[in-house]
Chains A and B, each alone.
Chain A
């Protein structure tokens, strides 16, 4: 029984993640998104009432699912449909997550893993735990089935889930399992069997087996013919009614009492244990079929639920999103693309950028400090990763190719002192990337090689980008290395077929930053002087 909300015809496995996904998470600031998506917002009269505590599992799930990219347009579309259904049926999504989480967590207490099982002590306790697990499955599946039947779906994922469950947990199968649970209810208190309310009763077993004899007169080739539980009037031991009952039972032909000899009584208990164990073994196929179902459902519904909650958070800030479109790898077009993570952190809406890069392999962004260059680069990185996990992106529209391999090479703020050790570290990171990179890769370079002199850094950057470009890698770079930028510009100016585009952060003549990126050739200064002036003043 498969869940298949994330992929068509297959379940989630922690497959091949992005190379150095830790860096992607850190450099794009994704943890903030994971954190807010893991919090439920409750409303009262349309106003936010409360933001619940983060659910660690949701955050972790979102992270692991996002770090395994989808690699075809078809896969992306399939996932988008499921996410959309999850968004459309918010309450159902939340319930699916709650029910499956409940099962998974309670199952652990009931000895799911070997170690938990051993903690349960005796085989009898383990057996009763197994029965309780079966009961729990039965209840949860009934609930899930009816939840799914109530909704209208557009996605192939949810439709398939509903159909599969209708077969795997058909009414007939449910009836068999419930009959078993009822038949062996004598073994576990408070399970299934309806008690007689008018009298004091106890639930007693009735077991029939057939067998032959081995050479040593031991029972052999035993077959269980019947097992059932029944309510029996309870009489106080030694009371007249009890004695009468015993007397009447004693008239059953060819029989003997099992209560008079302690050893026989003990062996009768063994018979009960083995009979119940056997019946439970009959349900093994059933439970095995749902062995991973609840884990999968929990995880896959968690991903949908994270999307639901992320949307609520974006709504609060007035940001909207759209489903991106897949196009050729050399194209990238978007309208009003926002670096919403910064917005989430600062609780404000942020400026959107619009840009169209058709048939380009190398984008070089230069320009004013504090002009929003890095933010711009990040917004593309975030959108790309979201798109490749089937989520909507925070923009009016977004079209991009699919890059199964995304690399980030950011000079981190705390790293930016200039010394050889830092350059060494940068080069080592680059070396690691080079080993993995190839055709169909996307690399985001943010202020790379700024840890050495401008001249040296430019040479390194030039060589590396040239080589990468020739290897068919799409490169988006934000740089201060103006010699590098100008050199590329001089070589490619007037040659649109070279596939290079330049953007720079807009700076009004009075020095104010608009945080918009505009097309244009690299200037000789990045206007750090402006910044110096504005901060340090005229000294």
Chain B
């Protein structure tokens, strides 16, 4: 096989079906990232995988086809063999990056040359090993197309010889053994053919104790070599001139050919694969802790439903504290458009609303979702509105603030959005709040949006066509179960239970006082 024009694969992407997605680094995160606690999850992921992975979570595919494309890749990534191979691969790529840093800090030309060679070797063997592993897996996505590209490039003459030469010279370096004698204020260096010297400790009649009896390199200065080491190597250089000449030549060749093996399709892949891996590793970690994930079915229209849906951000914080969160089931028939969720305070309303939003988000991102099973509709946009503390910065009143944030959401987007609203108009008079709430609901339903509206106003529960009433449940003793069920809002019963729970009824107070 002849020389391969690496540039030919420049457009290939495992994230982007048409490889025409605009620049990932644009714009500010939409408000729903904050509201749905997605930033917590993304931050957690980027602690391990670096900030660069964050941007992939900030851009959502625009079409259902793109989602399907990603889902197929994620399906492959999740397979044990593929996941293991890819993790090992990204580990090696990280090593390459570290080696590159080392090279910049290197002491002298010779060390620099060796780092160069080492970097090339790690880089190519990373791809070689990845290809070997992926060949064994049953790939069903564009990863198999990528495997073809890798094989083509690796099989080219240039890369094959480069890999052989680098490995050869590194093996020779690793084989080298020598002794250094420090005596009479001088260091003398002698080559050694084998590694057979009896150590000082072994000669003594004393049992060596465990690992801390290892003799460690005292010349610590990070990975840079010290003057003393360099001086010893200079002596070696005189003793093995041919070898060190070869080393230098190879390094120069590599420098000259650097552009040839800088393959854009590789660089892009190395970045994009981290998106899938980062979520997959989180998912695996959560599964270990007993949480389940589902592969969502994605539809353009029809019934939307999920079993065992939970809030992933909450689940993450619960690990280490027993790792239990409440899961809920729901369905939304095609004719139904909005949930209106009412119920007692601290009853899990906000959590449920968030988990719905997260469901739509992760499904849209092409990943698995925090639920036992799920069927999700494809929404071009996600809109959220959560009540926040009065903004000191803007100086506006709370109601004013809410309305300012609400206004842009009300504009038509030309498609169906998924809307999560949490407690609107809490500072307004109830009468006003009910009217305003109804108008907001009416408007969203008219625009064809779907979503959930969390409120303490039970009047909204039967506001109009397309609204489904949900409520957060209490048990017999009036304690929150965090369970969300369909049903008419009924908050008088809750109130009495609440009072009992806090032992504030007349009889109880009499007893207590």
Contact = CB atoms under 8 A, between A and B. Distances in A.
Interface of A: 172-173, 175-177, 179-180, 204-213, 215-227, 232, 249-250, 252-259, 261, 263-264, 267-268, 270-271, 273-275, 278-279, 281-286, 288
Contacts of A210: 177-180, 192, 195, 197
Interface string B192-213: 1001011111001111110011
B379 interface: no
Contact of A205 (B182, B200, B219, B238): B182
B111 A216 contact: yes
B235 interface: yes
B223 interface: yes
Nearest to A216: B223
B187 to A, nearest CB: 6
A140 B469 CA distance: 87
B199 A224 contact: yes
Contact of B200 (A216, A224, A256): A224
Given A217-B110, A224-B199, A271-B218, A173 B205 contact: yes
14 contacts: A209-B180, A212-B175, A213-B233, A217-B233, A218-B219, A220-B217, A252-B188, A254-B238, A257-B186, A271-B182, A278-B201, A278-B214, A281-B213, A282-B206
Residue of A219, A253, A261, A270 with most partner-chain B CB within 10 A: A219
B229 A176 contact: no
A123 to B, nearest CB: 12
B212 A284 contact: yes
B215 A278 contact: yes
Contact of A219 (B175, B192, B219): B219
Contact of B206 (A173, A219, A220, A274): A173
A285 B114 contact: no
Contacts of B184: 204, 232, 249, 252
A460 B233 CA distance: 93
Give 5 closest A-B pairs by Cβ, nearest first: A274-B218, A255-B188, A267-B228, A270-B218, A285-B209
Contacts of A216: 102, 106, 111, 114-115, 118, 223, 225
A172 B215 contact: no
B185 A209 contact: no
B174 interface: yes
A212 B197 CA distance: 12
B190 interface: yes
B181 A207 contact: yes
A258 B238 CA distance: 19
Nearest to B182: A207
Given A216-B102, A220-B217, A282-B209, A256 B187 contact: yes
A255 B183 CA distance: 10
Contacts of A263: 226-228
Given A208-B179, A224-B200, A255 B215 contact: no
Contacts of B218: 267, 270-271, 273-275
A215 B170 contact: yes
Residue of A204, A215, A217, A286 with most partner-chain B CB within 10 A: A217
B394 interface: no
Nearest to A249: B184
Interface in B224-267: 225-229, 231-233, 235, 238-239
Contacts of B232: 219
B26 interface: no
Secondary structure at the A interface, as helix, strand, loop or mixed, is mixed
B215 A224 contact: yes
Nearest to B216: A274
Given A180-B204, A256-B186, A222 B215 contact: yes
Contacts of B176: 212-213
A278 B212 CA distance: 8
A285 B174 CA distance: 33
B400 interface: no
Given A210-B177, A217-B110, A225 B200 contact: yes
A285 B206 contact: yes
Given A222-B215, A257-B185, A271-B219, A227 B200 contact: yes
B50 to A, nearest CB: 24
A225 B209 CA distance: 17
B208 A218 contact: no
Residue of A216, A224, A267 with most partner-chain B CB within 10 A: A216
Contacts of B207: 285
A217 B205 contact: no
B215 A223 contact: yes
Contact of B182 (A176, A177, A258): A258
Nearest to A180: B204
Contacts of A275: 215, 218
Interface string B358-401: 00000000000000000000000000000000000000000000
B250 to A, nearest CB: 14
Contacts of A173: 205-206
Nearest to B185: A259
A206 B176 CA distance: 23
A224 B203 CA distance: 11
Nearest to B233: A217
A282 B233 contact: no
B41 interface: no
Contacts of A270: 218-220
Contacts of B118: 215-216
Given A216-B106, A286-B206, A211 B180 contact: yes
B189 interface: yes
Given A261-B227, A271-B218, A211 B201 contact: no
Given A264-B227, A283-B206, A219 B217 contact: yes
B235 A256 contact: yes
B184 to A, nearest CB: 5
A192 to B, nearest CB: 15
B99 to A, nearest CB: 8
B173 interface: yes
A226 B126 CA distance: 41
Residue of A208, A215, A250, A258 with most partner-chain B CB within 10 A: A215
A208 B201 contact: no
Residue of A218, A250, A273, A275 with most partner-chain B CB within 10 A: A218
Given A208-B182, A215-B118, A267-B226, A256 B219 contact: no
A226 B198 CA distance: 9
